[in-house]
Chains A and B, each alone.
Chain A
Amino acid sequence: MSKIFVGIDTGGTFTDLVAADLDDGRYCYHKVPTTTGDPARGILEGIAELLDQNSLARKDVAFLVLGTTLATNAVLEGKWAATGLITTAGFRDVLELARQRRPHYFNLDIPKPMPPTARDCRLEVSERVAADGTVVTPLMEADVRRAVEILKAKKVEAVAICFMHAYANADHEERARALVKSLWPDIYLCTSNEVLGEFREFERFSTATVNASLMPIMDRYMEHFERGVADLGIPHTPRVMQSNGGAVSPGAVRKLPVNTFFSGPAGGVIGSVGLSRQLKAPNLITFDMGGTSTDVCLIRDGEPAKKSERQMGGFPVRTRTLDIHTIGAGGGSIAWIDAGGLLKVGPQSAGAYPGPAAYGRGGTKATVTDANVVLGRLSPKSLLGGRMAMHPDKAHAAIDELATSLRVDAVKAAAGVIEIINVNMMGAVRVISVEQGEDPRDFTLVAFGGAGPLHAADVARNMGMGKVLVPPRPGLLSAIGLLHADVRGDFSLTRLLRAEGANVKAFNAGLADLKKRGAEWLRGENKSEGESKARFEWFVDLRYFGQNFELIMPLAQERLTAANLARLSSAFHKRHKAFYGYDMPAQPVEIVNLRLVVTAARKAPVAAKISKKTFLKQIVKQSRRVWFPETGFVQTPVYERDQLPADWRATGPAIIEQMDATTVVPPKATIHNDTLGYLHMTLAVDGRGK
């Protein structure tokens, strides 16, 4: 019996599907329009088509994982459910007060974002827990009953229960939850301690309330999806990619939809982690450039960088996510001239419709894609392997108009557009590298997405990075990446106490609580075939007493002793010094949060080796004039990627075209097609005396 893995990457316009046969290493691809009204329908049809067209048996599907943007879109479009909040007396305005900053310092037309829960649906109950978890005011159950009556009348679809210091003592929240559940059995309900066991009320309340507001829509989607997959005859429960790069059951996502905000872009990063293992390239920066936006993420020692807080719809959401930084710039970004006469690119995008002028769909504004056509970097004939005709005359007309306004020639204008978008990209890479204390020169840039390989060499060179890697199917890496997902759950709990022997008991109680949560969650995941035994990894957030910023340190075991607390503190001093340039050995160290990561790894599909038999004259498709900053226009060979033999090498300038992407190899750069079909580009960059 063969085994098939299926990955589904839902995009804004299209959904990419990939099936990998684990036995023969064969990959099949399919693309269907994304159905926004009923997202599950398009996906289920797509799965059936993908399998049937490639004669793959549905019963052989051993692992099916979905990347979804449902939660993200719901927030961006304000489609969250009407939500009620039951909270501590005195605190119903926490979500509106936020951090008391204006939404924008200078643009006074931007209103404060409105939380998913209207003010009259935020009800206060008498109760109070202190910072150390002791009860100051007991929970008044009558208040909870009254709140339920009011919220029923207000017809909210979901309720979040958020009490002060609930991470330190969850008793009041859990009692209130039980009471609400008994009075209103079919309401969508979550508590702040369940969603995020960490201190800082605005961030925790916000995370919990956003979560509650997404439960109804995610629940309906997941129910439809899970049932549809079963109806197709696929024998295993499907999985859903989370923002932390791990895949989980639909059941887990229904409870915590807030964990899926980066489900979409996570695929590309996890795909890059997979190729990092495969190629033994531990340090990568992913560069996923599409039509309207670009995602970048840093991978060190095979581990993608993580982040604990993101903004969604103007509200902080604290969940562990891959540290994917997104900027609103891509191939469709529009070039324009500001009131002072400076050339600007983006953030407005021509999108897919009307798209760049070169697409001939009615777009007239000069975009990055048009500049690429004018400079010969993109084919003037067609894209998508001949399926989409290009209109170079229209691209030229758009760029000419821009050039006239700038009083420069068309080539200079086009080159300017490219230079500016590349500097924007460089800014994005800096945020995840230099600003985090990482030197990008130690990393290889992995280029994917439709436009990644087109700009990767320029971006790498701007950052002093000497190596670029282009995977075999750059446009499909996000879908393929889903196949590499492990099962992963992240859990945290605040125990804000000094790292001293006297507090060992409190820490261990917290760790035991986390372990219980992790184990319960794992049972709910119904370990599927091919998964290794789950691994429990422990971490703590540490800081100096008086600081308000934490460093995450690994913990060797699940129980603390006075001795290993002391070791932990001295390791913290060292790490602080390494990270920040100074330490304060005399200052007491505090533990802030305890963390648990539960992972069950899976055997990932391997890439098949490519044949070596092609001859050189077959691979040079043609040549055309391409512009490079250092040479101007120069006759450049254009290769067909699918025809490149294994272990093939060349020196730039060169253009390598394939169905889903175009790779630009600048002059003097060398390119190597390895036996697995990865392109390795080496750039001449300034050394740094290494």
Chain B
Amino acid sequence: MADAILEMRGITKSFPGVKALENVNLTVMEGEVHALCGENGAGKSTLMKVLSGVYPHGTYEGEIRYQGRPCEFKDIKQSENMGIVIIHQELALIPYLSIAENIFLGNEVARKGVIDWNETVVKTRELLQTVGLEENPHTLITHLGVGKQQLVEIAKALSKQVKLLILDEPTAALNEEDSENLLRLILKLRGQGISSILISHKLNEIAKVADSITILRDGRTIETLGMRRDEVTEDRIIKGMVGRDLTQRYPERKPEIGEVIFEVRNWTVYHPQHLERKVIDNVHLEIRRGEIVGIAGLMGAGRTELAMSLFGRSYGRKISGEIRKNGKPVVFRNVPEAIDNGLAYVTEDRKQYGLILIDDIKRNISLANLKRISRGAVVNENEEIVAAESFRGRMNIKTPSVLQKTGNLSGGNQQKVVLSKWIFSEPDILILDEPTRGIDVGAKYEIYTIINRLASEGKGVLLISSELPEILGMCDRVYAMSEGRITGEVRREDASQETLMKLMTKGKGD
């Protein structure tokens, strides 16, 4: 029996008015991958902040023992010196510095304050080799994709002699292939004696790499399971997380599909900077009334680019092709025209592109259709509050008031606000780009219910998602995309993860 590298016992952490953690226990064994699961707001991040010293000793109750010794970290520096490194969901790399500069930032290889660049580069090469990243140490971070940036973060952690690596949603922004790579790397590091704590919403990943799993709910430890010992299944984990059996992860729906209401023909889009590069190549697609159509594709396949180019030419140049709505050709030269013609686009990145975080809920909901609550140029704020309140009820947005700033909401509730905004714009066709990214299982189910309700109201829904189970669970028909082209169209009955994956990875030569 291996020793525990980390024991957290009876951790209680209160914020004014809320108990974020209550008597939480977490034990991580030497050389294991320990998954930490829980809905958003269950206290995972808070627990990790307690561990890494972001919340210094004295601001919480309970005991932390690391490598058998009690620890009282006052800041992150102290925990890092002990070999505990946390990699946050939002990467903390500096875009216009090179890989080498980023890895040794704050930890420079220097003599008397003068940096030894040769030594830095040599060390960086070694680290990059360990994490399996074939890049020049001088390459700027901004030129790397998210997947590679993640690897740089891990290399940075390794440079600090990490013994316990904490990864917060490391694959949230990665495509399947990069995710696979990353998970393999975690296992490889385990082989070298580095323990990991993996926070993830993706239960299949946990099943793949974790040795044991601790489930948090509402700031409490629910249980710790050994993955092999206890025959843990995804449903078992979900049950622990939400405290109920989710017999159905996707709500039941009887599709009532009508005529074609939206058609795209010969849609071709070029890159906004590299004008010779075709990003979208001769795409055809159609959406029927009451239908949920999926677009499955790996990252870089051009899904978001397709959606944005359709939505009032928000992306790309030299756009050609035809859009037909209800059989009639239409042209959207800009976003207002697209909205006026009944198109809505729920963006992939809700914080950057979806919400105005410093504005309140009601202003966010009304923004895309101010006309509906205005007489002439004057906005009727009372009508606005009434409308926002009705969405708060209907969409189950958990907030004390619609005057709450959206920046203070959890991910799931933010997404409900974005959906409310677009439902308020009274669209006929909704394009949903990764609508459940980074939100917890319970909120996902609610979002799915909303999507189904929209379809049953006779709207057409185009659902873009990286998660194949979601595509399979929700869609009536699926287009697979690869390298800017539609590589296949599959009906729900005929679709499986394998068939889709094959189409999604089909290159131009195949």
**Do A and B come together as binding partners?**
no
Binding site for B on A (CB under 8 A): none
